[in-house]
Amino acid sequence: MLRQMLVLLFSALMSLQSAQALSRLKDIIDIEGVRDNMLIGYGLVVGLNGTGDSLSNSIFTRESLVGMLERLGVTAQGAGLSTKNVAAVMVTATLPPFARQGSRIDVSVSALGDSKSLLGGTLLVTPLLGADGEVYAVSQGTLIVGGFQAQGAAETIVKGVPTSGRIANGAIVEREIDFDMGSLSSVRLALRNPDLTTAARIKETIDAFVGVPVANVLDPGTVEVRRPAGYNQSMLALLTEIELLRVQPDMVANVVIDEQSGVIVMGENVRINPVAVAQGSLTIRITEQARVSQPQPFSNVGTTEQVLRTEIAINEDTDARLTVVDGGVTLQDLVNGLNALGIGPRDLITILQAIKSAGALNADIRVM
C-alpha cells in the first residue's frame, strides 16, 4: 500500500513538472486567415488652446479646413484664416479578426504638422481605410493625451509626447471581413517560432488527441489539420478542443545581443566547446595640474608664470587570469565561469563574439 502511494506521488510530481514545462497550443501558433488588419486615415483635430498647426506653414491643414467648412455650407475660400486651434493628424487603428459591423475599436492619433500639443482636442469624423482603399471604420471623439507642455519666457517643460493621443472605443466598424471558419474542411496552423521539431510534436499531440491521423507537417512553420471523417461538428469546434493541448516547444540555440543597452539573452540550449578565455584591460590616466612659479621676494629678476605638471599612471590589470571553460557546459555553467572573471556586460559581448569566431560557440549570435 505504501509503495503504491509513493508511486502515485512520484507520478503526480512528474506530471506537475512536465505540465509546467509545456505550453498551450494556442500560445505558440496562429490560425491561417485569422489576422488583424491595419487601418489608417487623415483627419482634423479641433478645440486646441492655441497649440495647433500654423496655417501659414502647414498648407495641408489650411486646405483641409477650407474643404471641411465648404462641405458644411461655410464659404472660407480666400478668407484670411489664422487660427491655431486646428491640427492635421494621422489616425491609425487595428481591426481585429471577426470584428462585426457596429462594434468599436481603439484608435491612435498623431500630429502631422507643427502642432505643439493635442491636449483637449476633439477628432472630427475620419474614415479609416484598409490596404485595399475601402473604408472599414469611422472615427470621432475626444483625445486622451498622456503628455503635456508648459512654456514660459525662459524655460519650457515637456513631459511625454503631447502631439499624440488615443481615443478609447473611438471608431465604429462599418465593414466586416468575411471569413467563415466553420465551413472549412481543413485549417493551417502557423507556428510563431518556426521549428521542425516543434511542428512534429504538434502533429503527434493532435493525432493522439483525435485518435486518427488528421495533422500533417507541411514545413517547419506550418501544420495542416483536417476535419476527421465522421466528425459531425464544425472545424471551429475541433479547434476549440485542440487549442488547449499542451506541447513542449523546441528552441534553437541563440544568443541575442543589444549592443546599445548591453543586454544579453542566451537560450538554455547554448553549448560551447573547450575554450580558454582571458580578459584584461589597459588603463592610462593622465592628470594635469597647474602650478605657479614666481621669483623670490623683492627680486628684480624673473616673472610670475603658470607651470603645468603632468602625471601619467598606467594600470595593466595584472590580476587578469586565463580561465578554461569546459566543453558541453550548460548555460548556468557558462555564465558562472564568465562571472568569475568579473566581466561586465560590455566585455561579455566582445568575449561571446570572439568565442563564436573561434568556432567554440554552438549557437547563433543575433545583434539587435
DSSP string, 265-319: EE-TT-EE-SEEEE----EEEEEEEEEEE-PPTT-SS---EEEEEEEEEEE--TT
| Angle of the 196-210 helix axis to the 235-242 helix axis, nearest 10 | 110
Q: What does the mean pLDDT of the chain come to?
A: 80
- Is pLDDT at 308 greater than 80 in this prediction? no
Q: Which is more confidently placed, 23 or 1?
A: 23
Helix, strand, coil percent content, the chain, rounded in steps of 5: 20, 35, 40
For residue 333, the 8-state DSSP code is H
Instruction: Look at residue 132 and tell me whether its pLDDT is greater than 80.
Output: yes
CA atoms within 13 A on the CB side of 357: 7
How sure is the predictor about 33, in pLDDT bands with cuts at 50, 70 and 90? confident
**What type of residue is 43?**
G
Whether 135 and 91 have beta carbons less than 8 Å apart is answered as: no
**Grid cell 539573452 — which residue?**
265
Contact 130, 124 (CB under 8 A): no
Please report how many Cα atoms fall inside a 13 Å half-sphere around the Cα of residue 126, on the Cβ side: 29
The pLDDT value given to residue 40: 97
> Among 158, 139, 138, which Cα is nearest to 148's?
158
pLDDT tops 60 at residue 67: yes
**Dihedral pair phi/psi, residue 3, rounded to 5°:** -65, -40
Residue 58: what pLDDT? 85
20-23 long-range CB contacts below 8 Å, 24 or more apart?
21/248, 22/246, 22/247, 22/248, 23/246, 23/247, 23/248, 23/249
Mean pLDDT across 210-229:
92
Cell numbers placing 23: 505550453
pLDDT category of residue 43 using cuts at 50, 70 and 90: very high
Region 72-94: mean pLDDT is 85
Per-residue burial over 197-213, b if 16 or more Cβ lie within 10 Å, else e, is: ebbebbbebbeeebeee
Please name which of 341, 302, 293, 345 lies closest in space to residue 320, comparing C-alpha atoms. Answer: 341
Residue 168 cell numbers, joined: 478609447
CA gap 239, 25 in Å, rounded = 10
The predicted structure's pLDDT at residue 277 = 66
- Contact between 250 and 197 under an 8 Å Cβ cutoff? The reply is yes
Q: So what's the pLDDT on residue 129?
A: 96
**pLDDT band at residue 204 under the 50/70/90 scheme:** very high
Cα–Cα distance list, 249 to 195, 209, 255, 357 (Å): 8, 18, 18, 29
pLDDT at 16 over 50: no
What does the pLDDT read at residue 181? 79
Give CA–CA dist 362/122, Å, rounded.
56
Residue 287 pLDDT: 61
Rounded Cα gap, residues 337 and 322, in angstroms: 11
Between CA 200 and CA 203 the distance in angstroms is 5
Lowest mean pLDDT among 115-129, 228-242, 305-319: 305-319
Whole-number pLDDT of residue 220: 92
* The predicted structure's pLDDT at residue 327: 55
Residue 352: per-residue pLDDT: 78
With a cut of 70, say whether residue 112 has pLDDT above it. Answer: yes
Cell of 139: 472615427
pLDDT at res. 360: 77
Question: Among 18-22, 31-35, 194-198, 334-338, which stretch is predicted with the lowest mean pLDDT?
Answer: 18-22
Give residue 332's pLDDT: 61
- Given a cut of 50, is residue 7 above it in pLDDT? no
Who's near 213: CB < 8 A, 6+ residues apart?
Answer: 207
The H or E element that residue 255 is part of is: strand 254-258
Mean pLDDT on 199-224:
93
* Whether the predicted pLDDT of 284 surpasses 60: no
Q: What spatial distance separates the first Cα and last Cα of the chain, rounded to whole Å?
A: 58
Give the pLDDT mean for 20-33. Answer: 85
Q: pLDDT confidence of 318, banded at 50, 70, 90?
A: low
Hey, where are the domains in the chain? Answer: 37-173, 180-247, 252-296+303-368
Using 50, 70 and 90 to split pLDDT, how confident is the model at 316? low
Instruction: List the single range of 73-87, 281-295, 298-312 with lowest mean pLDDT.
Output: 281-295
pLDDT of residue 207: 93
- Which element (helix H / strand E) includes 357? helix 345-357
